[in-house]
Amino acid sequence: MNRYLFILTIALGMTASSHAQQQGDPKATEVWTPVPKVVDPGNTSKAPSDAIVLFDGKNLDQWVSAKDGGKAGWTIENGVLTVKAGAGDIKTKDVFGDCQLHIEWRTPAKVESEGQGRGNSGIFFMQQYELQVLDSYNNQTYSNGQAGSLYKQHMPLVNACRPPGEWQTYDVIFTAPKFKEDGSLLSPARVTVLHNNVLIQNNVELKGKTLYIGQPFYEKHGPGSIQLQDHGNPVSYRNIWLRKL
């Protein structure tokens, strides 16, 4: 038998034996309905067709001051939203539960201060659970408070920060906590985060609302706003969209 015929014989034999293990009707395991809804995925500058656009560079129509519900007092210039120090946090008018969030952020190109004082902002889900925004490029601080941490609860798996002044992305899957009638916790909040397309939080479980001091705990609540933090540093944002899950 020549070499090629030998290989062919072996290959046919393997196919026959693997088919022999697969008896029955393949159609029995095919699912044809329902059919997933068609979504235009967009691109780097355009949100998916089923997303709620929270900021597209034009205005702050979707946002209010977190403090008093009045006008959101941050700056928009050349399509970029920037924290105005002292204006306070801003929050979305709408409230959300489980969601997918895309947000782009940039810490100041001019490096000032250090640790938690350098390019600090943050994204709060349901106004309670902070995903840290910080210039963590060659900037030491406590690991569970660096960029990509779920503040004081989970440090990021890796530091995927770009240098100050460069745009960075977060893509987040947030699962809201669920509560029983009596107010006790049924299931905790869970978070997955990609930072610049790198997985940094893998479906981690939150211990409760973000606290600066002390151990986190849960208090029963319903859907809540996305809130962006004014930590006194001129951090910028652009291209913010959310999909309800």
Q: In whole angstroms, how far apart are CA 28 and each of 17, 25, 43, 170?
A: 21, 6, 37, 41
Cα–Cα distance, 63 to 94 (Å, whole number): 8
Q: How far is the CB of 116 from Mg ion (least distance, A)?
A: 8
| Sole residue written with tokens 């204006």 | 87
- Kindly report the length of the chain: 245
The DSSP string of 165-191 is: TS-EEEEEEEE--EE-TTS-EEE--EE
Which span (14-22, 46-54, 114-122, 171-179) binds Mg ion, by CB under 5 A? 114-122
Question: Which residue number places its CB atom closest to Mg ion?
Answer: 122
What track of x and - describes contact with Mg ion for positions 173 through 212 (by CB under 5 A)? Answer: ----------------------------------------
Report which secondary-structure segment, H or E, holds 240: strand 236-244
Q: How far is the CB of 37 from Mg ion (least distance, A)?
A: 36
Q: Does 156 bind Mg ion (CB under 5 A)?
A: no
Nearer Cβ to Mg ion, position 47 or 123?
123
Q: Does 122 bind Mg ion (CB under 5 A)?
A: yes
| Sole residue written with tokens 């100050």 | 164
Nearer Cβ to Mg ion, position 122 or 234?
122
Q: How far is the CB of 210 from Mg ion (least distance, A)?
A: 9
Nearer Cβ to Mg ion, position 47 or 193?
193
Cα–Cα distance, 72 to 91 (Å, whole number): 8
Which span (25-33, 68-76, 202-210, 225-233) binds Mg ion, by CB under 5 A? 225-233
